[in-house]
Amino acid sequence: MSATASSPESAVALANGALQAMADVITDVETQVGGGVSNVTVIPLEDAVPPTTPVTPNLQTNLLLGAGIGIVLAYVFVFLRKALDVKVRTSKDLATATRSGSLGRIPKSPQLMGKNRGANDADAIAAESFRRLRTNLRFASVDEEIRSMVITSSNAGEGKSTIATSLAQVLAQSNTPTILIDADLRRPTVATVLGIDGKIGLSEVLSGQVSLEDALVASKIPGLYVLPSGRIPPNPSEMLGSAAMKSIISLLSTDYIVVIDAPPLLPVTDAAVLSTRVDGVVLVATAGRTRREDASAARDMIDQVNGRLLGTVLNMVPPRDTADGYEYRRNRSYYVTADRKGMPVMKSIKRGHEQPEAFAVQTDASAAQTPQPTFAAVAPAAAPARESLAPTRPSASSAPRATPAASQPTPPPQTPGSELPSRRSRRGA
C-alpha cells in the first residue's frame, strides 16, 4: 500500500488508514456472506514507514528533462533566426548575395567614425585592412589594368565614403599617383572628411565654369589629389552621365588611379551611370545592417547597365565575429600603432627604446617642410614608370627607375588656360 501526501507524516497516516479500512471492509463483506460469521480475518502485518526522500518532485529527473528541452528550443531558435535573418552577417553571405568575391573586410573601429574618418592610420588594425584591400584590388583583374573605379553601396550610411577616402590614401602612400573624385553630388562628404575646401569642384568643372586644373586640390598626403563635388546641382544624374564626365575620367585615368565616391545604387541611378565609365565597381556593405536582397538588387543594377563588379567589401565587421573579425584581434600584438606624437609604437618594444628607422613616420612639423606637389611641367627624362593596379612581371632588360623628380628644381607653373599637365609633371612636382 502506498499513499501520496504533502508531508511524510500525512503519507504514513493515509497509508495505514487505507490498509485498516480495507481490512474492515473485507471483514464486513465476509460477515454478511457467512451469515454473521466471518471465515476470513485480515490482519495488517506491517505498518507504513515514513519516507526519507520525497517521491516528487525529482530534482535530477527534472534537471535532465529541462536541459533536454532547453537544447531543443535553442536549436529551434537558432534555426528560425538563421532562416528568417535577411541581413548580411559574413563575407560568405555577401558573396552569395552578390555572386562576387570579397576584396576585404574592414573592422569596426571608433577611429573610422565621426570626424576621425579621414585618419585611417589612427588604428593600426583598420589601416592594415585597407592595405589588404589595396593588395586584393591589384589582383582583381589580371588581363586588364584597373585605372578607375567606383566605390558605392546599396543604401546610404554603409561607409562607402570612408572606404573610398581611406583607399585613396593607402594607394597614394604606395607611391601610386591617385585622384579621389567626390561624385556624390547629392550628399557630398569627401571634402569634410579630408578637411579641404569643397566649394569649387566637379559640378563647376562639368558645367564649364572652372577648369579641371583649378578644381583639383592637393591633399596632405603626397601623390593624392582631390576633386571635390562643388555645389549641389539640380540634375546630378545628367551631369554624371554627360560626355564631359566621361572625358574627365578618361583623361585622369591615363596618368592616375581614379577613385570615385558615388551615391548609393538603390535610391538613385548616379552610381549605375558611373559604372559604365570606369574599369570596375567596388560594392560596400555593412555587417548586420545591409539586407541580402538589397545587395543582390545592387548587383542586378550593375549587370543591367553592363557594368563590371570587381568585388565586395564588408564594412564594420564586429571584433567578436569569429568568421571575419577575430583574426584582427588575435594578431593585435603584430600591428604597429601610433602614439600621440605620431611615432609608431610596437607592443614588443618598450617605451624609451630607440625606434627603428624603418618605422619612422613624418610628424606634422616635418610634413609641413615637405614640398607639396604642384602641377608644373618637368623634363621628360624624369618620368618614372607608369603605375597601375594590375600586377606586372619583372623584366631583366627594364631600365632602373629615374631619380625622384622631387629633388629637381620646379619650373614656373603653367598659366591659366593651358592643358592639364601630363603625368610626368604631376609625378615630378
Q: In the CATH hierarchy, which top-level class contains the domain 85-338? A: alpha beta
List Cβ<8 Å contacts ≥24 apart for 38-46. Answer: 44/16, 44/19, 44/20
Model pLDDT, residue 278: 95
Q: How is residue 284 written as a grid cell?
A: 560596400
For residue 148, list its beta bridge partners.
Answer: 258
pLDDT band at 108 (very low <50, low <70, confident <90, very high): confident
Given a contact cutoff of 8 angstroms between Cβ atoms, the answer to whether 239 and 261 are in contact is no
- Tell me the pairing of strands 257-261 and 224-227: unpaired
Model pLDDT, residue 268: 93
Mean pLDDT rounded to a whole number for the chain: 76
Given a contact cutoff of 8 angstroms between Cβ atoms, the answer to whether 289 and 156 are in contact is no
pLDDT band at 284 (very low <50, low <70, confident <90, very high): very high
Task: Please report, for the chain, the start and end positions of each structural domain, with discontinuous segments joined by +.
Answer: 1-52, 85-338
CB atoms within 10 A of CB 8: 15
- Tell me the pairing of strands 178-182 and 224-227: parallel
**What is the tens place of the pLDDT at every residue in 24-35?**
777 777 776 666
Q: How far apart are CA 150 and CA 236, in angstroms?
A: 16
Q: Does the pLDDT at position 280 exceed 70?
A: yes
| Poorest-pLDDT segment among 57-61, 64-68, 334-338, 402-406 | 402-406
Helix (H) / strand (E) element for 226: namely strand 224-227
Closest residue by Cα to residue 335 from 325, 320, 346, 322: 346
| Poorest-pLDDT segment among 20-24, 63-67, 242-246 | 20-24
Q: Does the pLDDT at position 397 exceed 50?
A: no
Model pLDDT, residue 121: 64
Given a contact cutoff of 8 angstroms between Cβ atoms, the answer to whether 130 and 259 are in contact is no
Please confirm whether the linkage preceding 267 is cis (ω < 30° from 0): no
CB atoms within 10 A of CB 123: 20
pTM: 0.65
Q: Does the pLDDT at position 240 exceed 60?
A: yes
Model pLDDT, residue 61: 86
Given a contact cutoff of 8 angstroms between Cβ atoms, the answer to whether 295 and 88 are in contact is yes
| Poorest-pLDDT segment among 5-19, 230-244, 293-307, 310-324 | 5-19
**What is the tens place of the pLDDT at every residue in 170-225?**
999 999 999 999 999 999 999 988 888 888 999 999 999 999 999 999 998 999 99
For residue 338, list its beta bridge partners.
Answer: 344
Q: How is residue 267 written as a grid cell?
A: 535610391
DSSP letter (8 states) at residue 102? E
Share of the chain above pLDDT 70, in %: 66
Model pLDDT, residue 381: 34
Mean pLDDT of 333-356: 45
Answer with the residue of higher pLDDT: 123 or 214.
Answer: 214
Q: Which sign, positive or negative, has the C-alpha torsion 271, 272, 273, 276?
A: positive
Model pLDDT, residue 206: 94
Model pLDDT, residue 7: 75
Number of Cα atoms under 13 Å in the Cβ half of residue 206: 28
Which SS3 state, helix, strand or coil, does residue 118 take? Answer: helix
Q: How far apart are CA 256 and CA 281, in angstroms?
A: 17
| Poorest-pLDDT segment among 8-12, 31-35, 242-246, 295-299 | 31-35
pLDDT band at 328 (very low <50, low <70, confident <90, very high): low
Model pLDDT, residue 137: 92
DSSP letter (8 states) at residue 409? P
What is the side-by-side order of every strand in the sheet holding 309-317? 102-107, 309-317, 280-286, 148-153, 257-261, 178-182, 224-227, 217-218
Helix (H) / strand (E) element for 149: namely strand 148-153
Mean pLDDT of 86-107: 92
Q: How far apart are CA 427 and CA 429, in angstroms?
A: 6
Q: How far apart are CA 390 and CA 345, in angstroms?
A: 33
